[in-house]
Amino acid sequence: MTRLSAFIESIGVLGPGLPNWPRTADVLADRTPYAHAPTELPPPAGLPSVERRRTGPVVKLALAVGHEAVAGSGRDAATLAAVFTSSGGDGQNCHAICETLASDDRKLSPTRFHNSVHNAPAGYWSIATQAMAPSNVLCAHDGSFAAGLLDGLCQVTIDATPVLLVAYDGEYPEPLHAVRPVPDAFAVALVLTPEPSVRTLARIDVVLTEAPATAPAHAELQTLWRGNAAARVLPLLEALAAPRATRVALDYLPDTRVQVDIALPDASGQFSEPVGTP
């Protein structure tokens, strides 16, 4: 695979005890101790009241991190191409639909139905931001974040345009939880750009690798990392929070990981060569 490169301009995060990127960065950089708390989903900003009432948990999750990342970039959300990626979509809505279909009254709510499709968060995002740019929606089980990252990097490289990447996964009720035990909702969003700006946090250079996946250094976050596919981003976020130039490997396929080399800007705005470059 050809090396793909992009610049990370801003980040959005929402998860258990991780209400936003500044708080998450402080935790991951050991500036603040981690205090676990259930993920709190805010009302979805930007939607008309009728649409807000129709949204489920994963829509609120995805929109929250998307808005945070776009605000941090200073860009117009309506102009950004987007990639949405999730391993399972809205598990709670799926559970409710299965309950209805297994009951005596099998009349399915139209709202339940249209929220069941995998691209529902992308659709609500376009309504909330009036975005008309292309939007891709992916699913790759536990490799969903890495798949979304590769898709976003391909767009940045080929189209030379900024891309918003949003990865999200929510928890499942029983009995689905027994076979897919997602511990809590977690989402991350990155604004990826083809050129650096005054807001650039790091440059990433990405290739495929057979090296084992990098585990997060924070032991208290390893259950989240293992159980929530979107949280496979945590080793990358740890490096960005420090910040430090390093290399991490993120879960993708059973025998293949995505290697991410992180380079940081110096005082003059120049970036070092990728980690491991001769």
- Token digits of residue 109: 């709510």
The answer to whether 73 and 199 are in contact (CB under 8 A) is yes
Q: pLDDT tens for residues 246-263?
A: 999 999 999 999 999 999
* Alpha-carbon torsion (108, 113, 116, 117), positive or negative: positive
Task: Measure Cα distances from 45 to 40, 48, 118, 166, 244 in Å.
Answer: 14, 9, 20, 16, 33
- Whether omega for the bond prior to residue 175 falls within 30 degrees of 0, making it cis, is yes
Say what the pLDDT of residue 278 is. 43
CA quadruple 186, 65, 202, 233: dihedral, nearest 10? 10
CA quadruple 269, 274, 276, 277: dihedral, nearest 10? -100
pLDDT tens track, the chain, 278 positions: 689 999 999 999 999 999 999 999 999 999 999 999 999 999 999 999 888 888 889 999 999 999 999 999 999 999 999 999 999 988 888 888 888 888 888 888 888 888 888 899 999 999 999 999 999 999 999 999 999 999 999 999 999 999 999 999 999 999 989 999 999 999 999 999 999 999 999 999 999 999 999 999 999 999 999 999 999 999 999 999 999 999 999 999 999 999 999 999 987 778 876 565 54
155 burial level (CB within 10 Å; 0-12, 13-18, 19+): buried
Residues 6 or more apart whose Cβ sits within 8 Å of residue 166: 62, 65, 66, 69, 82, 83, 84, 85, 121, 125, 148, 187, 188, 189
Architecture in CATH for domain 4-202: 3-Layer(aba) Sandwich (3.40)
The answer to whether 34 and 221 are in contact (CB under 8 A) is yes
